[in-house]
């Protein structure tokens, strides 16, 4: 499991590492919608999903190559913004 914090708010990414999917759990009390972006190790954006209104998002690893990626998660007004690393086996 990976946790990243912004102030007193925590984002959970479980499981991490993963092979088929991981669940991104957003704090309950942040303004929605949220967005998630994935970047390869060269910094190129390879995935983007926006308008997430639930507090949980299932990220599939099926279309992604095995390896390490950085994620950026933020909400509509950027009052919640965090980054982290995921690994796909």
The answer to whether the predicted template modeling score (pTM) of the entire model surpasses 0.85 is yes
- d(C-alpha 58, C-alpha 47), whole Å: 13
Quick one: how far is CA 74 from the chain centroid?
9
pLDDT-derived band at 4 (thresholds 50, 70, 90) equals low
Residue count (the chain):
89
What is the arithmetic mean of pLDDT over 37-55?
96
Angstrom distances, CA of residue 60 to CA of 20, 23, 80, 84, 86: 6, 9, 23, 17, 12
What pLDDT does residue 5 have?
56
Cβ atoms 58, 21 nearer than 8 A: yes
Does position 1 have pLDDT exceeding 90, yes or no? no
Structure confidence by residue, pLDDT tens digits, 60-80: 999 899 999 999 999 888 888
What pLDDT does residue 41 have?
96
Q: Which domains does the chain have, with CATH numbers?
A: 2-88 (2.60.40.10)
């Amino acid at each position: 499991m990976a946790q990243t914090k912004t102030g007193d708010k925590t984002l959970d990414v479980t499981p991490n590492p993963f092979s088929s999917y991981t669940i991104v759990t957003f704090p309950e009390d942040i303004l929605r919608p949220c967005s998630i972006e994935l970047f390869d190790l060269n910094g190129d954006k390879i995935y983007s999903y926006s308008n997430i209104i639930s507090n949980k998002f299932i990220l599939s690893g099926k279309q992604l190559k095995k390896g390490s990626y950085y994620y950026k998660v933020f909400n509509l007004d950027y009052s919640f913004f965090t980054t982290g690393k995921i690994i796909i086996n």
